[in-house]
Structure 1
Amino acid sequence: MPVTDLAASASANRTDDEVWTPKVCAEFLHVHLATLARWRSECRGPRYLKIGPKSVRYRPEDVREWLADNVTDPKSLR
């Protein structure tokens, strides 16, 4: 399944307990996997879950909340 289909299916068919892999999250946000990894190391970006020592997952509602919290109104920057 192409990556774009993964994000679309993750958005359309999600349940309350669904989590996204970093690959699906990166596709949803239109950023590289390395960008998500860097954000995690810099304590930036959307909240994520650590499952074991190496597995990372993102809850779709956390990603959407992070996006909403980062909306900038250009008029407010003047």
Structure 2
Amino acid sequence: MNTRSIDDVIFTPQQIEDIYHISKNNLAQLRYSGKGPVYLKPTPRTILYRKSDVDTWLASSARQTAEQTSTSST
């Protein structure tokens, strides 16, 4: 019996681009800056993402108003 959930699905950067519309180049920049979703690197040239990690990262960026993204002090 397979007990894997949909959140255990593994995506390549190309699949992330196709599904979430976040370009591979943008993902690479986010990885470099440490601001993107958690990723797996099983080999030196292979990058993979868990669906649950991408969804968590996206949820953490949710905003209701422009004020929440502002860093100005008043």
Which TM bucket (shorter chain)? Answer: 0.7 to 0.9
Deviation at 1:47, TM superposition (A): 0.8
Structure with the higher strand share, 1 or 2: 2
Query: Larger C-alpha radius of gyration, 1 or 2?
Result: 2
Number of corresponding residues: 64
Deviation at 1:29, TM superposition (A): 2.1
What is the letter of the counterpart of residue 39 of structure 1? L
TM-score, normalisation: structure 1: 0.71
CA distance in 2, matches of 1:17, 1:67: 16
Structure 2 counterparts to residues 1-78 of structure 1, below 5 A: 15=6, 17-74=8-65, 77=67
In structure 2, stretches of 5+ residues that fail to align are 69-74
Paired residues of 2:10 and 2:49 also in contact (CA < 8 A): yes
- Does 14-23 or 59-68 show the bigger shift? 14-23
Structure with the higher helix share, 1 or 2: 1
Which segments of structure 1 move beyond 3 Å, counting only runs of 4 or more?
A: 14-17
Q: RMSD of aligned C-alpha atoms?
A: 1.9
- Secondary structure of the corresponding residue to residue 58 of structure 1: strand
Paired residues of 2:8 and 2:52 also in contact (CA < 8 A): no
